[in-house]
Amino acid sequence: MGDTTTTKPQAEPTSNFPTKAPFERERLIVELAVQRVRILAEKVLSFVDKGELSKADASPVSLADFGAQALLVSAIHTEFPNDLIIGEENADALRADSKLMKKVWDLVNSTRLADEESEKLLGRPKSMEEMCKMIDLGGQTNDSARGRVWVIDPIDGTKTFLAGTQYAIVVALMVDGVDQLGIIGCPKMDWHAGLVSEDAIATQGLGWTVTGVRGHGNYARPMSTGSLLPATPVSKRPARTTYQDAIFLDSMMSEKSRFPNRNDFAEKLGAKLPAMNIYSSSMTYVALALNIGQFRVRAPLPSAPASFIWDHAGGICIVEEAGCKVTDLRGTAIDLTLGRRLAANWGNVIADESMHDQILTVVKDSFQTFPEFEKALG
Q: How far apart are CA 216 and CA 12, in angstroms?
A: 22
Instruction: Tell me, yes or no, if 179 is annotated catalytic.
Output: no
Instruction: State yes or no: 136 annotated in a binding site.
Output: no
Backbone angles phi, psi at 19, to 5 degrees: -65, -15
Q: Which of 4, 7, 65, 328 is catalytic?
A: 65
Question: Of these residues, 4, 7, 111, 158, which one is catalytic?
Answer: 158
Residue type, 207: G
Q: Please give the Cα distance from 331 to 270 (Å, whole number).
A: 22
Q: Flag whether 88 is marked binding.
A: yes
- The amino acid sitting at 309 is I
Q: Is the dihedral of CA 134, 139, 140, 145 positive or negative?
A: positive
**156 belongs to an annotated ligand binding site:** yes
Residues 1 and 244: beta-carbon distance below 8 Å: yes
Asked about 284 being catalytic, the answer comes back as: no
Is 85 labelled as part of a ligand binding site?
no
Cis check for the bond before 274: say yes or no (omega within 30 of 0).
Answer: yes
Euclidean distance between CA atoms 185 and 223, whole angstroms: 8
Q: Give the separation between CA 126 and CA 124, rounded to whole angstroms.
A: 6
* C-alpha dist (Å) from residue 188 to 38, 59, 243: 10, 21, 28
Q: Is 153 annotated in some ligand binding site?
A: yes
How many angstroms separate the CA atoms of 119 and 73, rounded? 15
User: How far is residue 231's CA from residue 159's CA, in Å, rounded to a whole number?
Assistant: 29
Cite the annotated binding site for Mg(2+) by residue number.
88, 153, 155-156, 311
Catalytic residue numbers, as ranges: 65, 158
Annotated binding site: 88, 153, 155-156, 311
